[in-house]
Amino acid sequence: MPRALRRIATIAARTLGGLAVVAFVYLLAGTALSTIPRNRDWQPPMTGGVTIWIEDNGVHTGIVMPKVAAGIDWRGDFPAADLPDPRFAANDHVAVGWGERNFFLGTPTWADVRPATVLHAAVGSDETLLHVEHIPRPHATKDVRTVLLRPSEYRRLAAAIRVSRAGGKAIRGYAGYDIFYPASGRYDAIRTCNAWTGDRLANAGVKIGWWTPFSASVMQWFEPATS
């Protein structure tokens, strides 16, 4: 092998090795820090309260909330007129998630995910969106976990979510029942969509890991439904 090719091969091998080490450290740190609780003494209320759900599609988590509860009315924040099909506004819950703009808009299905899109998001972007779906009340499953909040906790959660909304016009979603809104905050490998979910819950006072970069980092804190 010519010397130039050997040099290129050596550089490539070292680069791949370095990336593997970075990925391993990232996975290890995310796993470890997600087990250290914030709001360690939090317990759900024994009676009453507001039921929310944390949903997981295997990669991304979102927060599902009643449209009207504990003095919070999401119909003003996410009006029917913004939807491609306003009839879906009759559904009584909203699912809200946060993420990087290009990733959201460029991946309507997981088959549309491209390595360049993932890399762009991981490196970092100041262009972020809230994804809002108007849905019926969900049923608890292994991928949809129930969380009961006190009214004051729910209002803090709502305030934290509202802070994530930026100005600007709504952007068409994937279907008739969902919509995107410009958001605040920077997305990168540290501040992921799941870290956003964890931080919103922590702001409400809920017991959750210190850093929740993966969907499993969030879901591990809430019991799945039992059959």
Domain segments of the chain as ranges: 34-42+49-219
10 Å CB burial of residue 176 (0-12, 13-18, 19+) is middle
What is the pLDDT at residue 117? 58
Asked if 181 and 161 touch (Cβ cutoff 8 Å), the reply is no
pLDDT of 4: 61
pLDDT at 26: 78
Please give the model's pTM, rounded to 2 decimal places. Answer: 0.87
Contacting residues for 100 by C-beta, under 8 A, at least 6 apart: 120, 121, 125, 127, 128, 129, 187, 193
Q: Within 13 A of 39's CA, how many CA atoms are on the CB side?
A: 18
Successive 10-residue mean pLDDT values, the chain, 227 residues: 60 58 75 96 94 95 98 97 97 98 81 60 85 97 97 98 94 97 95 97 98 97 83
Half-sphere exposure of 78 (CA within 13 A, CB side): 37
* Residue where the block lists tokens 């919103």: 200
